[in-house]
Structure 1
Amino acid sequence: MANTGLLVLTNPARATKLLPVIKEHVLKTLYIQYFPDRNIFISGAYSLSSQKWKGPRHAQTIDNIYAFASTVSSRLDVRVLLSSLKSPNVSIIHTKRPVELVIFDQTYSKKEADTFMQDYLSNTSMGCKFINVDENREEETSMENGEDAEKGEEKVYKNVVLGGTFDRLHSGHKILLSEAVLHCTEKLTVGVTDTNMLKSKILWELIEPCAKRITAVKDFLEDVDPSLKYEVVPISDMYGPTKDDPNMDLIVVSEETVRGGAKVNEIRLQRGLSKLDVHVVKLMQDQSHDEHEESKISSSNQRIRLLGTRLREPNRKDKSLRPYVIGLTGGIASGKSSIAEKLERLGAGHVNCDKIAHDLYAPGRECYNLIVEHFGPGILNSEGAIDRKALGNIVFKKKAIKRVMERNSLSEDEARQRITVQPSNVQQVNEANVVVSTLWSHEVTQKQVQKAWDELKAYLDETSQS
């Protein structure tokens, strides 16, 4: 099996049948080079047709490929190359990782395949091989429908900006970044949220270090389009460099961060800077999410799925009977969270508090007003929205104190003192081989513990045989 493969795709509809086959041939990274409306060989040689710059028109097709890829294999890092989609002058295919296997979606001779690999791939391993996966089927159109809709949206910009956490880069991130690349001609600036902006997120203790996330974003961008200049920087507030840089033209946001784009333009106008055009990227639905997970593909879901799994190898030099450390972590869950339960106890009746503190206007003014009335104006951040960190600290600290009081028959002051001297969640997670969380129902926690127990048994069986 090859570590790195390149799929030469002439019809994106074939991806739905090809990717399940390709994952049996490629272990780690799969590049996809999409050639729309042309054959890759003309008179036995590869040729690019002369086309105008049309990167944005292919955005929907790229999004669809990533959306399907997310359902095929979690281990396969799919990267759709964008340079030739943006400019007809690009002919050489550049990849950071050497290509070991080329997959064609049509049948070509060995001579044709060798010519393509020798003349147009800049980075191949010694002994690079190829296979043809030609289904000889009627042309499907499910992944091409979006292109007609995109034809009117051809506007591109010199300087584009976007921001996000980008924890454990997934297909949703790749879509957001790719759409930014497709609309950019010179410089793309990406703000990556630093530590002080993370504590409102679910299982924030499991978020990768900022430096690691920056490296991952830059590596992906330089891979899919090495022609642009990239500036990937840590940001300590929602504005980042947008509040000072007069040269930016377009901001790319997701459907749930549209309000953030509006706030960016507000502060730019206050500072005498030009207003940015805003491009909104649709969220991608997670087809396999559980009830306690978010319905979109998200880093939060990825962190939730890490619970009960082995995060790092146990210390094999430790001869004790405890090769695993279990860390307990807390925070505000999405969906029917403990915040909703808290509000219901306050007399709000049945409250739909899905992601209650994410946005000022979600899930509605009723919940918003009730929270402010109960906890006071100090629960709001500088933007007037609910401060999830502050709310979480209040709710979960009170909950923890009450639990210690009941369990150990202590007074409130004694319970608070005991909690104060306990190691923080971050300390516990950093020392843990496995992390479980009691954020959700007893059944969810039980599944995490069962998963951890199964992995522990497998580990003990492995070590006993070595």
Structure 2
Amino acid sequence: MILTQPVRKIVPSLPKVLKAASQHVTKTLYIHLDPLAKSRLPEMKQCLALYSHIITNIYSSSPSQCQGLDVRILMAGFKGYSEVPCKTHFRVDLVMFDQARSGHELVDLEKRYNFFLTDSRSQVFLFDQTCQNDEEVQIPQDPTNEKANQIYSSVVIGGTFDCIHGGHKILLSEALLRCRDRLTCGVADGPLLKNKTLAELIEPCDKRISNVRELAVDIDPTVSYNIVQITDPMGPTRWDPNMDMIVVSEETKRGIISINEARREAGLKLLDGYVIGLVNDQLREYEEEEMKVSASSQRMRLLGTVLKPIIPNPNIASHPHIIGLTGGSASGKSSVAKRFAKLGAGVVDCDILGHKAYKKDTNCYIKLIETFGSDIVDIDGEINRKVLGTKVFAEREALQTLNNIVWPEIGLLAKKCINDLAAEGFRVIILDAAVLLDAEWEEFCHQVWVCIIKRQEAIQRIVERDGKSQEEAERRIDSQMSNADRVARANVVFCTQWSGDYTQQQVEKAWATLNNYIDNAANGYKAQL
């Protein structure tokens, strides 16, 4: 989309223009500032402030006006190094103008964008009488950034850059707007992610670095990029002498002081700072999510969705559809299973089956006595699991031996329960199993779903629910598979650390997606017949 209105008139008309543009786009909407828009520009400092205002408003309003689109503001027009953007990362299929033009202006525009129009289906003039707005925006007063409203040779930014959103794009664009030669970007990793919400869902650092680079080069290919992993808050600002200015968000502006103190001690040039405001999240529906646009909220919205493609399991029948549901102690796994039961799923509780496996005269019972001795048998003839526990839990090899005896027996019982529930007519069966992945029971499931919760929350729940000490709870958590390892093998992830309503919406989201998947698979099978 080409912005041709005078820059002072762009912001008031943005909602309608973006909404109109979104009707013609399904994936990526590039936005470019045409030379026609640059009439009566103010002096440089005010011009940068005005451009910042336009960029911030585009990215702030695009989630609601262009929902689902990847909106990218090209820096060529704002920085004035080219009348026409360079080749974009994604092919341009359609060129749109924000205002109808005629005569010489239209001829000039067609000549200017002929490169993009070659493969385009058509031109679309978005602006009409109902959208026109003669209001002119006043240049915003910004005393915080007044001194930093200039062009610098080298600029630096930092962040997690997970689930790249409008806030990230504003940060990157504001830095590029003021950057002439080199942009350094620190991408947080390691200990910097420890306290992040749903850290297990954060993409690998190399993937996030790749995403930032692709976006940055796409919107401004004229700058040299130094995009690096950082594991401490200061990153290269602590030692790199070739930096002039740092761009930060409102919530991290105190970092400028800390960074400059470290640079002063190292004898390095102090950095000018530019602070961008927080952007309200227009898509926020639940109070558990943050008010501002954030990657945390973006990750929360991934809960209950398919994160890993579902690969058909050729070793089991397609009906019923079996979901292996697992999670660590106090993760809320069983409560989630009960929520699915209320929606119509059959549930196999492997905790109950575990108790059945130990019962007198079963194959498992006999093998346990042969392996661990008759002293594990209680007066009533049943296995005394407390006595058995003292024999195995202090010794890893003995515990593995126990598991090798018990897990196959539980697996057989689970398969029988699945068959019984299938005979009753259930088309979805939830296999609720804490050791699902350890025991490799996912082999007879179509999908793996995982419940996770913050370590500290899990420990607190164990202490309160089971009467364990803090140390005992920590040992229990540490003896289990990590959340990160579970998530790596999961198709769908849930988290129960917020309200019951928030858990329920995750469950209902997953249930709706699952039923659509099953219906589509069934229709595809019928079509093949």
Larger Rg: 2
Q: 70, 94, 101: which one pairs with 1:77?
A: 70
Aligned length: 388
User: Which residue in 2 is equivalent to 1:388?
Assistant: none
Moved more, 181-190 or 55-64: 55-64
1:58-457 equivalence runs, <5 A: 58-87=51-80, 89-94=81-86, 95-108=88-101, 116-120=109-113, 122-123=115-116, 126-136=119-129, 137-141=131-135, 144-146=137-139, 154-289=149-284, 290-318=286-314, 319=316, 321-322=320-321, 324-326=323-325, 393=455, 395-402=456-463, 405=466, 418-457=476-515
User: Which residue in 1 is equivalent to 2:519?
Assistant: 461
Q: Is the 8 A contact 1:92 1:121 kept in 2?
A: no
Q: Which amino acid aligns with 1:98?
A: R
Q: Which amino acid aligns with 2:496?
A: T
Query: Are residues 138 and 19 of structure 1, via their aligned partners in 2, closer, same or farther at CA, if it must alter by over 3 Å?
Result: closer
Percent identical = 37
Query: Are residues 49 and 417 of structure 1, via their aligned partners in 2, closer, same or farther at CA, if it must alter by over 3 Å?
Result: closer
Q: Which amino acid aligns with 1:396?
A: E
Task: Summarize deviations over 1:136-167 as a string: whole Å, max 9, x none.
Answer: 2542547x334576996641211100100011
Task: Summarize deviations over 1:389-418 as a string: whole Å, max 9, x none.
Answer: xxx65x335324336736xxx898876554
Moved more, 132-141 or 242-251: 132-141
Query: Are residues 310 and 114 of structure 1, via their aligned partners in 2, closer, same or farther at CA, if it must alter by over 3 Å?
Result: farther
Query: Are residues 121 and 399 of structure 1, via their aligned partners in 2, closer, same or farther at CA, if it must alter by over 3 Å?
Result: farther
Query: Are residues 163 and 443 of structure 1, via their aligned partners in 2, closer, same or farther at CA, if it must alter by over 3 Å?
Result: same
TM-superposed deviation, 1:323: 5.5
TM-superposed deviation, 1:301: 0.6
Task: Structure 2: state its 5+ residue gaps.
Answer: 331-453, 525-529
Q: Is the 8 A contact 2:305 2:513 kept in 1?
A: yes
Q: Is the 8 A contact 2:2 2:34 kept in 1?
A: no
TM-superposed deviation, 1:217: 1.2
CA distance in 2, matches of 1:327, 1:226: 46
Q: Is the 8 A contact 2:74 2:219 kept in 1?
A: yes
CA distance in 2, matches of 1:49, 1:281: 22
> What SS does structure 1 have at the residue aligned with 2:90?
coil
CA distance in 2, matches of 1:464, 1:114: 54
Task: Summarize deviations over 1:334-388 as a string: whole Å, max 9, x none.
Answer: xxxxxxxxxxxxxxxxxxxxxxxxxxxxxxxxxxxxxxxxxxxxxxxxxxxxxxx
TM-superposed deviation, 1:90: 1.8
Task: Summarize deviations over 1:168-215 as a string: whole Å, max 9, x none.
Answer: 111111111111111111111100012332121000111111111111
Q: Is the 8 A contact 1:104 1:132 kept in 2?
A: yes
Higher helix share: 2
CA distance in 2, matches of 1:109, 1:174: 34
Task: Give TM-score, length-normalised by structure 1.
Answer: 0.75
Q: Which amino acid aligns with 2:281?
A: D
Q: Is the 8 A contact 2:171 2:249 kept in 1?
A: yes
User: Which residue in 1 is equivalent to 2:430?
Assistant: none
Task: Summarize deviations over 1:397-452 as a string: whole Å, max 9, x none.
Answer: 5324336736xxx8988765543332211111111111110110122112211111
Query: Are residues 170 and 251 of structure 1, via their aligned partners in 2, closer, same or farther at CA, if it must alter by over 3 Å?
Result: same
Q: Which amino acid aligns with 1:14?
A: S
Q: Is the 8 A contact 2:155 2:175 kept in 1?
A: yes
User: Which residue in 2 is equivalent to 1:25?
Assistant: 24
Query: Are residues 102 and 210 of structure 1, via their aligned partners in 2, closer, same or farther at CA, if it must alter by over 3 Å?
Result: same
TM-superposed deviation, 1:124: 5.6
> What SS does structure 2 have at the residue aligned with 1:174?
helix
CA distance in 1, matches of 2:238, 2:4: 41
TM-superposed deviation, 1:33: 1.2
Task: Structure 1: state its 5+ residue gaps.
Answer: 1-5, 41-47, 332-391
> What SS does structure 2 have at the residue aligned with 1:134?
coil
Q: Is the 8 A contact 1:330 1:425 kept in 2?
A: no
> What SS does structure 2 have at the residue aligned with 1:26?
coil
TM-superposed deviation, 1:121: 5.8
